Structure 1
Amino acid sequence: MAILKFIDRSKNNGGAVAKYAGSLLHPYSIEVTPRTAAKIDDFSALLPSGTRVYIAHIAGTSIGDMVATARRLREDGFAVMPHFPARSIPDVPTLESWISLYRNEADVTEALLLGGGETRPVGTVESSIQLLESGLFDRYGFKRLHVAGHPEGSRDIDPDGTTRNVDSALKWKTDFSGLTDAHMAIVTQFGFDPTVITTWAERVAQAGITLPIHVGIAGPAKLQTLIKFALSCGVGPSLKLLQKRALDVTRLMLPYGPGDMVGALTDYVRDNPQTLISQFHLFPLGGIEPAARWVADNTITQPRPATATL
């Protein structure tokens, strides 16, 4: 659980920016793709040592490119967590091949397991539950496994608009966490309404979920960019906040910053120490460098364990 200490708050174009010592932003994790990572000359100049870097496996990306990106980031001293999108993995032998490549060629011991963006499975693997049931991550010595959380639901999993299947899947994964040697946590999709996040976190806790929650936060970006990603990623209720902002011509041309979300959620954790919310995961929708700079400008660095230990 993050230890919070209020320092300062001010206003800028990105909304209310909170500076905290040891806040949910210190440490944080961030997401890249092989293509976006290739544009960064030196990650060490942008990210704190030990930062967990997720590598998104976008459709069409080769496993070779994924492993090469993972190797580079590991050699630079980061904790690396590649995506394993179940519906893009043809079969269990392919899954084992991927795990072996990451483990043996890039020293990867962490993974995000999720259903993935494919509407239909390309083979016999359909869900993150099947990935866990394979037992391969334990066999290859993976130390940390994260799974996806959907505070605004998922039409891919619950087409009827309920949360029945996503809730039961999280409960299954919570039970599974007692059977694996790996540490487990939930990482959520990004959103724009802190109340949606906190209400969901309280509801899943009441349902018996005990896994720590890493809340997805959209990094600084143009409003049009955020709306495009929100529509493509299925962000629902909180999208209304973006659309409302788009109607305000005085704010339309201003860049979006995550200050309001970060401030509200950090205050919530301070006031609700029993919450499962434990840190932030940054989606750099407007670019890796602007996202990393925003965090550096809005946190006060204090000694705290690296992300990989949380």
Structure 2
Amino acid sequence: MTTLDTASTAVSTALLEDFSLEMTGKDVPRLEEARDTIPQGTRINVTFLGNEDLRMRLDAARAVKRLGFVPVPHVSARRLGSRADFEQFLTGLHTDGTCDNVFAVGGDPASPEGPYEDSLSLIESGLLQEYGVRHVGVSGYPEGHPAIPGDVLWSVLRDKSAALAAQGLDGGIITQFGFDVDPVLAWIERVRDEGIALPVRIGVPGPAGVRRLMAYAARFGVGTSAAIAKKYGLSLSNLMGTAGPDRFLHALAEGYDPVRHGEVKIHFYTFGGLRATSEWIARFRKDHHG
């Protein structure tokens, strides 16, 4: 068996054993279409965007559960206008039985619409566990954040890890997606050096039109140089093509060391392509089954 074969096997049997997906509140019809290609029990994150309302978010989480998956609703701190808004959302999740897992994020608005400035304030509010939340995901930024200095990102991540422990909540980190494995693995090593033992889900872009992919990358400050794009099989000259994360996952498997990096899994950003992503994962796992 060659090194590449070994790496592929490692990806399919370990890193892709328990992948997670992301969808928006408007993606319920797409989830219905993809349901037969997604393993039952898969964690599916449901975004908290400005163009979605409470009903849409709750309906999406309920649909995820109804179809046999694990809903992970996002809570966007700066989009919550009041404590009452936060409690209304948590009440809805609790009533629907979709409150076990949430993902706490600061959100896009530059200034808070209410009393919650960041995801740490949501964790420290005490409301999450009061409404039955048991596991809280938080963000990680291996390539930095366009609006937040690196030292602040590290300080905040340490604080969130400590706050989750203090509140008695399980947690995990989901990273922003990138195209280059090296900074991701280096960042995870730093996470462990900082004493943060939370499991990490590495954000990976699912197969999507490259034009759309690059637009998302630019928005989130992810490195998309032509050299990196070419390294992972993305064609900047043929922007109407599609790209799957094959090479990224192979490189990740070759560089991943459980001793140094701890528990690592994969989170796919689907960009609306739930079926395309889930079918791609199924093919990849079948082709590289060890």
Deviates more, 1:273-282 or 1:147-156: 273-282
The residue that corresponds to 2:267 in the other structure is 281
Q: Deviations over 1:222-260 (max 9, x none)?
A: 2212111101122136686238877764x6664211011
The residue that corresponds to 2:157 in the other structure is 170
The residue that corresponds to 1:306 in the other structure is none
- In the alignment, the residues of structure 2 paired with residue 248 and residue 107 of structure 1 have an alpha-carbon distance, to the nearest angstrom, of 40
- In the alignment, the residues of structure 1 paired with residue 176 and residue 225 of structure 2 have an alpha-carbon distance, to the nearest angstrom, of 12
1:200 aligns with 2:187: yes
Matches within 5 A, 1:53-92: 53-92=44-83
Q: Which amino acid aligns with 1:73?
A: V
User: Residue 145 of structure 1: SS of its match in structure 2?
Assistant: strand
User: Residue 178 of structure 1: SS of its match in structure 2?
Assistant: helix
Matches within 5 A, 1:202-217: 202-217=189-204
Higher helix share: 2
- Among residues 295, 298, 303, which one is paired with 2:281 in the alignment? 295
The residue that corresponds to 1:304 in the other structure is none
- In the alignment, the residues of structure 2 paired with residue 43 and residue 222 of structure 1 have an alpha-carbon distance, to the nearest angstrom, of 18
Aligned residues: 287
The residue that corresponds to 2:92 in the other structure is 101
Q: Is the 8 A contact 2:161 2:196 kept in 1?
A: yes
Deviates more, 1:89-98 or 1:252-261: 252-261
Q: Is the 8 A contact 2:76 2:104 kept in 1?
A: yes
Counterparts in 2 of 1:21 and 1:231: CA distance versus 1, 3 Å: closer
Q: Deviations over 1:240-299 (max 9, x none)?
A: 6238877764x6664211011111112222x44331351000001361111001100011
- In the alignment, the residues of structure 1 paired with residue 162 and residue 13 of structure 2 have an alpha-carbon distance, to the nearest angstrom, of 30
Matches within 5 A, 1:9-28: 9=5, 20-28=11-19
Deviates more, 1:280-289 or 1:172-181: 172-181
User: Residue 50 of structure 1: SS of its match in structure 2?
Assistant: coil
User: Residue 204 of structure 2: SS of its match in structure 1?
Assistant: strand
Deviation at 1:54? Answer: 0.2
Q: Which runs of 5+ in 1 are unaligned?
A: 11-15, 302-310
The residue that corresponds to 1:225 in the other structure is 212
- In the alignment, the residues of structure 1 paired with residue 265 and residue 197 of structure 2 have an alpha-carbon distance, to the nearest angstrom, of 15
> What TM-score does the superposition give when structure 1 sets the normalisation length?
0.84
User: Residue 38 of structure 1: SS of its match in structure 2?
Assistant: helix
- In the alignment, the residues of structure 1 paired with residue 226 and residue 262 of structure 2 have an alpha-carbon distance, to the nearest angstrom, of 24
- In the alignment, the residues of structure 2 paired with residue 37 and residue 114 of structure 1 have an alpha-carbon distance, to the nearest angstrom, of 22
Deviation at 1:183? Answer: 1.4
CA root-mean-square deviation: 2.8
Q: Is the 8 A contact 1:215 1:281 kept in 2?
A: yes
Q: Deviations over 1:4-61 (max 9, x none)?
A: x999749xxxxx9767442211110000012122234344312100000000111120
Deviation at 1:121? Answer: 1.3
Matches within 5 A, 1:141-156: 141-156=132-147
Q: Deviations over 1:192-231 (max 9, x none)?
A: 0000101111122212222111100000122212111101
Tell me which stretches of 4 or more aligned residues in structure 1 moved more than 4 Å: 5-10, 16-21, 237-240, 243-249, 251-254
- In the alignment, the residues of structure 1 paired with residue 108 and residue 91 of structure 2 have an alpha-carbon distance, to the nearest angstrom, of 23
Counterparts in 2 of 1:205 and 1:154: CA distance versus 1, 3 Å: same
Deviates more, 1:48-57 or 1:104-113: 104-113
Counterparts in 2 of 1:92 and 1:282: CA distance versus 1, 3 Å: same
Q: Which runs of 5+ in 2 are unaligned?
A: none
- In the alignment, the residues of structure 2 paired with residue 92 and residue 69 of structure 1 have an alpha-carbon distance, to the nearest angstrom, of 22
Matches within 5 A, 1:107-186: 107-156=98-147, 158=148, 162-186=149-173
The residue that corresponds to 2:175 in the other structure is 188
User: Residue 136 of structure 2: SS of its match in structure 1?
Assistant: strand
Q: Which amino acid aligns with 1:216?
A: G
Counterparts in 2 of 1:272 and 1:73: CA distance versus 1, 3 Å: closer
Q: Which amino acid aligns with 1:145?
A: V
Q: Is the 8 A contact 1:91 1:124 kept in 2?
A: yes
Q: Is the 8 A contact 1:177 1:184 kept in 2?
A: yes
- In the alignment, the residues of structure 2 paired with residue 83 and residue 239 of structure 1 have an alpha-carbon distance, to the nearest angstrom, of 33
